[in-house]
């Protein structure tokens, strides 16, 4: 069977660098694994009343059902104001409820942060980890993935021209595949 990795991307921008990094990572997984983006842009902002009243928005239910079918999660995110963008936090919150029915519980995960800047979205990377630890996602610790100066590593067609970055991303994917196998065997 194929092991399915659901990917949440913290940018909705059509030319998103984060999505380009995701496309590169997706092309690097071995045959028995696959990465698929889980869309998060149309999820209404979390409001507990909708769950308490047993009437969650359709988009939440679809997202939760969809997310449950994945074996692992990869979070690829920019940094907004030294933290994570609201769109990805909202998706994490929606997936974590109703209480006791979290879609995240126990599934292996990994984080990639991406920025045109030199600090490589460090703040977002670690704020994200704070929530993932609480949600009982065993998050891969090494290698950490901070992709900085990202505007300089692609050609016009979105292919990675920087060989060192490509090698690093492959190393990251290999380690994550291994991490998923380790967690699955426990
Ligand atoms: C940013 N950006 C940004 N970058 C960064 O490295 N640290 C930061 O704190 C912020 N803050 C921030 C806030 C807001 C509201 C926006 C819109 C942007 C810049 C950001 O890294 C840049 O727009 C990236 O290109 C976003 O990723 P995508 O959309 O290319 O995937």
Closest residue CA from atom 29 of ligand 1: 16
Cα gap 70→184, rounded to integer Å: 13
Q: CB of 4 closer than 6 A to ligand 1?
A: no
Instruction: Name the residue of 78, 128, 153 to mutate for ligand 1: max ligand atoms within 8 A of Cβ.
Output: 78
Whether 108 shows a pLDDT value over 90: the answer reads yes
Closest of 87, 92, 112 to residue 104, by C-alpha: 92
The two structure tokens encoding residue 92: 């994490």
Q: Is the pLDDT of residue 186 over 90?
A: no
pLDDT tens by residue, 27-65: 999 999 999 999 999 999 999 999 999 999 999 999 999
Compute, in angstroms, the gap from residue 30 CA to the centroid of ligand 1: 31
Ligand 1 within 6 A of CB of 125: no
CA distances in angstroms from 58 to 15, 65, 67, 102, listed in the order given: 28, 11, 14, 17
pTM: 0.98
User: With bands split at pLDDT 50, 70 and 90, how would you rate the model's confidence at 158?
Assistant: confident
- pLDDT at residue 157, rounded to an integer: 86
Residue 61: the pLDDT is 98
- Give the chain's radius of gyration (CA, Å): 16
Please tell me the distance between residue 72's alpha carbon and the centre of ligand 1 in angstroms.
26
pLDDT value of position 156: 86
78 Cβ below 6 A of ligand 1: yes
So what's the pLDDT on residue 40?
A: 98
Distance, CA 39 to ligand 1 centroid (Å)? 19
Domains of the chain: 3-184 (3.40.50.360)
Gap from CA of 117 to ligand 1 centroid (Å): 8
3-state secondary structure of 33: strand
Which positions ≥6 away from 8 have C-beta within 8 Å?
A: 37, 38, 40, 73, 74, 75, 76, 77, 88, 91, 92
Quote the crossing angle between the two packed helices 122-134 and 86-95, to the nearest 10°. 10
* Mean pLDDT (the chain, rounded): 97
């Amino acid at each position: 069977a194929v092991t399915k990795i659901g990917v949440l991307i913290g940018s909705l921008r059509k030319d998103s660098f984060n999505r380009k990094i995701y496309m590169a990572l997706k092309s690097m997984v071995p045959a028995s694994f696959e990465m698929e983006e889980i869309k998060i842009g149309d999820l209404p902002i979390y409001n507990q009343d909708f769950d308490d009243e047993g009437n969650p928005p359709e988009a939440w239910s679809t997202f939760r059902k969809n997310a449950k079918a994945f074996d692992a999660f990869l979070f690829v995110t920019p940094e907004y104001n030294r933290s994570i963008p609201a769109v990805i936090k909202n998706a994490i919150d929606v997936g974590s409820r109703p209480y006791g029915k979290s879609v995240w519980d126990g599934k292996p995960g990994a984080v990639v942060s991406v920025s045109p800047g030199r600090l490589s979205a460090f703040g977002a990377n670690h704020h994200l980890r704070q929530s993932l630890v609480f949600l009982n996602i065993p998050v891969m610790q090494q290698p950490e993935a901070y992709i900085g100066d990202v505007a300089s590593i692609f050609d016009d067609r979105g292919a990675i021209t920087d060989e060192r970055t490509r090698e690093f991303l492959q190393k990251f994917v290999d380690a994550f595949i291994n991490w998923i196998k380790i967690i699955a065997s426990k």
